[in-house]
Amino acid sequence: MIQVHSIPILQDNYCFLIEDPKDRTCVIVDPGESAGVISAIKERNLKPVAIYNTHHHADHIDGNEALLKEYGALPVIGSAGDRERIPQLTQYLREGDKVEFGGETAEILEVPGHTLGHIAFVFPGHIFAGDLIFGYSCGAVFEGTMEQMYHSVSKLLKYPDDTLVYIGHEYTLNNVKWAQHVDPDNPDIQQRVALETAPPTVPLQLGLEKRTNHFLRCDDPKVQAFTGKTEPAEVFGALRTHKNNFK
């Protein structure tokens, strides 16, 4: 089975190393810089065999070039929608495509909204989601529409509660006050706040996000009452707008 190592980089980003413990190979996911990633690879005595990029933002791809210089012509795998935006890409993926590593197969989800070309890599029990969601929250809608982002985030709901979600930023503790403001009597949020007192909070547990992340609760009457909307995509848009302006 694959093992995942979370590597803190930059100010609050994460890069992930997916390791196949049988042969000590690894895949590098979203290297926003190279030095810390190379150090982590050497510390674990791993051999990189590929780079996965979830989307084109610099804090997820800026380490690509230096890693290729360090480790040779690794395949760089990402979205077909980012063909023109990630110059190092060698393999272009769309919804329903699959990649294999460590004897396991990952399905590809297209999750536009944060960016139009955003994808997620879904291994059994592990989702590499980039900036699709965060603890208690979701990515800002920079390039897509609120409706696109709603449908993208909602794709996570079909996966088992024990799935681990590997996200691009350590934002969980920054989002607590907003989550409490929207649903102050939520016992799951109260319990979560008591447990998550310091980083790291990543990976996220999907079942906990389903109960405490309001962007995954757009059909919940309490969340609908807060927004004054009932249609889930409209609830989502109202939540994202409120979160954007929350102080």
| Cβ-contact 32, 15 below 8 angstroms | yes
- Determine contact, residues 31/15, Cβ cutoff 8 Å: yes
Decide: 63 and 34 in contact? Cβ < 8 Å: yes
Catalytic residues, by residue number, are 55, 57, 59-60, 114, 131, 169
Upstream peptide bond of 200 is cis (omega within 30 degrees of 0): yes
With tokens 């930023």, the residue in question is 169
- Helix ranges restricted to H, the chain: 35-43, 58-61, 64-71, 146-154, 176-182, 187-195, 206-212, 221-227, 232-245
Contact 183, 218 (CB under 8 A): no
Joined together, the tokens standing for residue 94 give 């769309």
Q: Residue 142 carries which side chain, given as an amino acid letter?
A: F
| Residue 161: C-alpha distances to residues 104, 107, 210 (Å) | 20, 18, 8
CA end-to-end span of the chain: 43
